[in-house]
Amino acid sequence: MSRIFLIPGLGADTRVYNNIDLNNHDVTCVDWIEPNATDTLLTYSQKLVLQYNIKPNSIIIGNSMGGMLAIEIAKFIPVEKVILISSIKTVEEAPSYFRFFRAIPIYKIIPGKAFTSMEFLIKPFFGHMSEADSWLFRDMLKNSSPIFLKWAMGAILKWDNKTIPPNVIHITGDKDLIFPYKNIKDAIIVKGGTHIMIFEMAKEVNKILKRILKK
């Protein structure tokens, strides 16, 4: 049985996978480690490999920024599968606002601590949430490291990957406002899926994951 590693997204932790059913698999949840200021997504992904002993023939599931890190891991380790959920594979799939924030890096002047209390600004882009999901979203953001959040925002914007490693499966929603599906190639499209479909539409995502993991 292949070992599955779950990598969350920016502003989240592994609770984002709470509604994902992988009970019959050997699963390891990846928690964030503090980055160095000079880390890129590539160097940070290499640290995760060492920290969690990620070996060849593993399966990496990455949500949002976690998918970008999963791509970087798969570029230097021959994994069995990379499964992206609400993410992007290359810089060509990045939304147009990335170019704006690269040119005008507003995030650099915002205090790191402020990122943990910006839920009111971010939440509208994530789609409708139930009361329970909204609480979880706030709690994950509130408990995120300000140092990590500020570093990660810059690392994401500077990501320039153009290589798609083998065995990548991409799942995205047609209502995702963070990574619009029209920019994304060769993906499984979930109708009505938003950026948080990983728990908002977990039933549909679980069905897709079950099919992928059976192959």
Express each pLDDT in 120-150 by its tens digit: 444 444 555 566 666 667 777 777 788 888 8
Residue 116 CB burial class (10 angstroms; 0-12, 13-18, ≥19): middle
**In the chain, at which residue ranges do the beta strands (DSSP E only) sit?**
3-7, 26-29, 59-63, 81-85, 168-173, 188-190
Are the beta carbons of 63 and 69 closer than 8 angstroms? no
Residue 213 CA: distances (Å) to CA of 3, 22, 43, 185, 196: 11, 10, 28, 21, 21
Do you know the residue count of the chain?
A: 215
- 145-196 confidence digits (pLDDT tens): 888 888 888 899 999 999 999 999 999 999 998 899 999 999 999 999 999 8
User: Is 91's pLDDT higher than 80?
Assistant: yes
- How many structural domains does the chain have? 1
> Which range marks the domain in which residue 15 is found?
3-214
Residue 76 CA: distances (Å) to CA of 86, 97, 168, 190: 22, 29, 14, 29
**Tokens found for residue 2:** 């292949």
Mean pLDDT of 87-109: 81
Which CATH number fits the domain that encloses residue 44?
3.40.50.1820
Closest CA to 48 of 81, 85, 7, 79: 7
Q: How far apart are CA 169 and CA 163, in angstroms?
A: 14
Q: How far apart are CA 30 and CA 8, in angstroms?
A: 7
How much is the pTM?
0.89
